[in-house]
């Protein structure tokens, strides 16, 4: 068995060079963040447990050597690569080299230099955390997509993850500290399926959002331990995101994990995109086998102006009279329009290329406008004869609108959206369309209908709606007979979705 460990990375858009003083390094440009020692020690111990016969280790983006210490102490021979010489500690051998060039050259891709591919027992990594706007991806997007797949063009870390798995030999164990947007973002479904098709998953642990706070980074990460082989999937050790670094350290030290099977940690329904889910109980997971929001009413996106300042005014005035809803965000039940769109928007849509009108026949029917940005998902009434932006909008105008309004503002719905479907990034109509909507009893449905109307009236009057929301949550939890543990989870998540999502 071979172990592969890959660590803190850099922006491969720049050619190999030596920074005179890495103390002055711009981390937003390089994407390099040092891995905390307790995380590095945990990964090394876990990987050596899985691969006790390992003899040599490669760290292809070694940084200062934070991830390799335990391997060196265990007597393994460690080779480090990086395009920046940060004087890594613990390497028996260090080379200024570009891992992506090495992997690319293995298939003769002309984009990369002709680099001889070395062989190692082990490799370890925390890939760089920078996005598709890096020069490297921007300049080489076509060839990168052709070589490594569409998801790799989204950012550097997904490019590294794909390259690492491809580089690994059969039975290699791969340990990653990496950004976690690949777990649920629709753009990464290709990468998720590549992982599932080529690897056995041993560990998946969500890190607290404050893990790199001492390095002035607010980045969502996870620990992922894989073994490169196509079958033999067994139990997966998982742990959900906790609020603090100290809680996370204790969980890793005490091995406070859940043992789950692959079907427990992935959404496999044909409507879904093989999302990885962590900490989701059977009670919640089974909701994804039932009806979705799009089964009740169309869930659509609207108008992208390309320049809001040009076509939208804050107040109604001559030529700008159409109420326009962009994103109710935390404004639940009732929201004033975000502005007023130009009256001749249809003409603009025909003549201006980046002014895009989608779902034209449904837009003015009104219904519910859902939040797209911000962690707190919710919905507000959007009256007929108004228009909407690219946030999710549910086109519905019968009495079901009121009960659905209640449900979309519930703790359960918030968790389903931000704790399962999409833990980061904006919520598009595609995500919203897949929100599970349980079938409630007639009594509960009528109660939710009344509460939705009452919540709208109170919010319209500027009154507090927290009492209504509590009644909605109580009605839903009672009707679905949710367990005490699930209710506690929903409450904790509702109180702090930013840190727990």
Query: Based on the domain organization, do 192 and 303 belong to the same domain?
Result: no
User: Considering the chain, what percentage of its residues have pLDDT values greater than 70?
Assistant: 89
Query: Based on the domain organization, do 215 and 300 belong to the same domain?
Result: no
Q: Provide the CATH number for the domain around residue 400.
A: 3.90.220
Task: Give the pLDDT confidence score for residue 135 in this predicted structure.
Answer: 72
Q: Is residue 407 part of a domain?
A: yes
Q: Provide the CATH number for the domain around residue 259.
A: 3.40.50.150
Q: Is residue 290 part of a domain?
A: no
CA 142 to chain CA centroid, nearest Å: 24
Q: Is residue 271 part of a domain?
A: yes
Render pLDDT for 19-35 as a digit per residue (tens, 0 to 9). Answer: 333 455 554 445 577 88
For strands 339-342 and 320-325, give the pairing. Answer: antiparallel
- Residue at which a domain ends, from 279, 303, 318: 279
Query: Based on the domain organization, do 490 and 353 belong to the same domain?
Result: yes
- Residue at which a domain ends, from 225, 253, 279: 279
Task: Give the pLDDT confidence score for residue 152 in this predicted structure.
Answer: 67
Q: Is residue 325 part of a domain?
A: yes
d(CA 297, CA 355) in angstroms, rounded, equals 26
Sequence-distant (≥ 6) Cβ neighbours of residue 287 within 8 angstroms: 416, 436, 438
Q: Is residue 34 part of a domain?
A: yes
Query: Based on the domain organization, do 244 and 204 belong to the same domain?
Result: yes
Residue 118 binned pLDDT confidence (cut-offs 50, 70, 90) = low
Q: What single DSSP character describes residue 184?
A: T
Query: Based on the domain organization, do 366 and 262 belong to the same domain?
Result: no
pLDDT at position 1 over 50: no
pLDDT at position 108 over 50: no
Average pLDDT of span 76-98: 87
d(CA 484, CA 242) in angstroms, rounded, equals 19
Query: Based on the domain organization, do 49 and 173 belong to the same domain?
Result: yes
pLDDT at position 348 over 90: yes
d(CA 220, CA 211) in angstroms, rounded, equals 8
Query: Based on the domain organization, do 180 and 94 belong to the same domain?
Result: yes
Task: Give the pLDDT confidence score for residue 117 in this predicted structure.
Answer: 61
Query: Based on the domain organization, do 349 and 393 belong to the same domain?
Result: yes
Render pLDDT for 161-172 as a digit per residue (tens, 0 to 9). Answer: 998 898 888 888
Task: Give me the number of domains the chain comprises.
Answer: 2
Model pTM score: 0.86
Query: Based on the domain organization, do 355 and 394 belong to the same domain?
Result: yes
Residue reference for tokens 């059977």? 282
Residue 419: CB atoms within 10 A of its CB come to: 24
d(CA 431, CA 422) in angstroms, rounded, equals 7
Average pLDDT of span 256-268: 93
Q: Is residue 455 part of a domain?
A: yes
Task: Give the pLDDT confidence score for residue 14 in this predicted structure.
Answer: 35
Domain that holds residue 106: 2-279
47-51, 99-103, 208-212, 343-347, range with the lowest pLDDT: 99-103
Would you say 167 and 149 are in contact if contact means Cβ atoms under 8 Å apart? no
Q: Is residue 406 part of a domain?
A: yes
Residue 110 binned pLDDT confidence (cut-offs 50, 70, 90) = very low
- Residue at which a domain ends, from 238, 253, 279: 279
User: 96 vs 312, which has greater pLDDT?
Assistant: 312
Q: Is residue 389 part of a domain?
A: yes
Query: Based on the domain organization, do 259 and 230 belong to the same domain?
Result: yes
Query: Based on the domain organization, do 258 and 316 belong to the same domain?
Result: no
Task: Give the pLDDT confidence score for residue 2 in this predicted structure.
Answer: 45
Task: Give the pLDDT confidence score for residue 9 in this predicted structure.
Answer: 42
Query: Based on the domain organization, do 99 and 246 belong to the same domain?
Result: yes
Q: What single DSSP character describes residue 393?
A: E
Strand partners, 370: 379
């Amino acid at each position: 068995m071979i172990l592969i460990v890959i660590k803190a990375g850099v922006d491969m858009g720049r050619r190999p060079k030596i920074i005179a003083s890495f103390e002055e390094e711009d981390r937003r440009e390089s994407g390099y963040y040092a891995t905390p020692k307790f995380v590095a020690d945990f990964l090394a111990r876990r990987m050596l447990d899985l691969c006790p016969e390992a003899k040599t280790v490669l760290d292809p983006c070694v940084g200062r050597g934070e991830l390799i210490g335990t391997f060196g102490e265990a007597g393994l021979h460690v080779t480090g690569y990086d395009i920046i010489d940060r004087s890594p500690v613990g390497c028996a051998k260090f080379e200024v080299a570009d891992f992506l060039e090495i992997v690319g050259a293995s298939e003769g891709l002309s984009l990369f230099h002709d680099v001889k591919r070395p062989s190692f027992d082990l490799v370890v990594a925390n890939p760089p955390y920078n996005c598709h706007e890096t020069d490297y991806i921007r300049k080489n997007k076509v060839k990168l997509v052709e070589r490594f797949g569409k998801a790799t063009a989204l950012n550097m870390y997904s490019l590294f993850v794909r390259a690492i798995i491809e580089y690994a030999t059969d039975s290699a164990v791969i340990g990653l500290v990496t950004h976690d947007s690949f777990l649920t973002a629709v753009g990464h479904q290709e990468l998720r399926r590549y992982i599932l098709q080529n690897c056995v998953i041993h560990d998946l642990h969500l890190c607290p959002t404050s893990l790199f706070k001492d390095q002035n980074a607010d980045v969502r990460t996870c620990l992922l331990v894989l073994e490169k082989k196509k079958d033999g999937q067994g139990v997966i050790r998982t742990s959900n995101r906790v609020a603090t670094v100290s809680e996370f350290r204790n969980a890793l030290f005490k091995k406070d994990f859940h043992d789950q099977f692959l079907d427990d940690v992935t959404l496999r329904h044909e409507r879904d995109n093989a999302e990885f889910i962590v900490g989701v109980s059977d009670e919640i997971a089974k909701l994804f086998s039932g009806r979705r929001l799009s089964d009740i009413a169309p869930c659509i996106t609207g108008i992208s102006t390309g320049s809001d300042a040009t076509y939208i005014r804050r107040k109604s005035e001559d030529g700008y009279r159409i109420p326009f809803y962009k994103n109710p965000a935390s404004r639940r039940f009732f929201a004033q329009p975000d502005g007023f769109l130009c009256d001749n928007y249809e003409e603009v849509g025909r003549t201006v290329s980046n002014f895009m009108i989608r779902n034209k026949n449904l837009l003015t029917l009104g219904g519910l406008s859902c939040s797209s940005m911000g962690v707190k998902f919710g919905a507000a009434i959007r009256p007929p004869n108004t228009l909407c932006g690219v946030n999710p909008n549910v086109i519905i105008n019968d009495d079901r609108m009121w009960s659905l309004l209640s449900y979309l503002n519930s703790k359960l719905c918030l968790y389903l959206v931000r704790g399962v479907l999409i833990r980061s990034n904006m919520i598009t109509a595609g995500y919203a369309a897949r929100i599970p909507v349980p079938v409630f009893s007639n009594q509960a449905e009528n109660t939710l209908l009344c509460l939705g109307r009452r919540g709208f009236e109170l919010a319209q009057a500027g009154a507090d709606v927290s009492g209504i929301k509590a009644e909605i949550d109580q009605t839903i939890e009672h009707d679905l007979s949710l367990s005490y543990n699930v209710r506690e989870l929903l409450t904790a998540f509702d109180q702090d979705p930013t840190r727990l999502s």
